Copies of this chain bind each other. A is one copy, B any other.
Amino acid sequence: MKPEDISVALGSDHAGTALKATLAEALRAAGHPVLDLGTHGAESVDYPDFANAVAAAVLDGRGRFGLLVCGTGIGISIAANRHPGIRCALVHDVTGARLSREHNDANVLALGARLTGPEVALDALRAFLATPFGGERHARRIRKLTPDWSPRP
């Protein structure tokens, strides 16, 4: 698939806005459609609200993938994973990002802006978008996370 066919919905709390902006710029430069659902300022907000907004965008197809950032990635990934159709992978490097696509067919990537630096985050995001799902041997486990899951291109 071409980058213009792989849209990404972005969300963060106030701790994640700078990293989100860096990643959004890189995504746009690579040709991906970007849907930035906020937050945009420094005002204190609640990470679950932005997790829910990105989850909704992925579930209704506005974003093929989601990207979430908070201070640690922990709270925002817990919130995203309350949605049975979302498989949100909190990763800290390229390896976790790659394996989350291969093994879990993750559809949302979460990063912690206070734990993972911008170059590591950017490499992880690229690996996430470049790695295909590993195939049927993982399907039974994924259906225990998302009962109506089916593979997609």
**Which residues of A are in contact with B by a Cβ distance under 8 Å?**
46-49, 71-72, 74-75, 77-79, 81-82, 84, 87-93, 95-96, 99-100, 103-104, 106, 112, 114-115, 140-141, 144-145
Contacts and interface: CB of A to CB of B under 8 A. Distances in A.
A77 B88 CA distance: 9
B48 A74 contact: no
A71 B145 contact: no
**How often does this chain occur in the complex, in copies?**
2
Select the residue from A74, A79, A81, A115 with max chain B CB neighbours within 10 A: A74
Given A82-B81, A82-B84, A144-B79, A103 B46 contact: no
A79 B47 CA distance: 20
Contacts of A114: 99
Given A48-B145, A112-B96, A144-B49, A78 B74 contact: no
Nearest to A89: B74
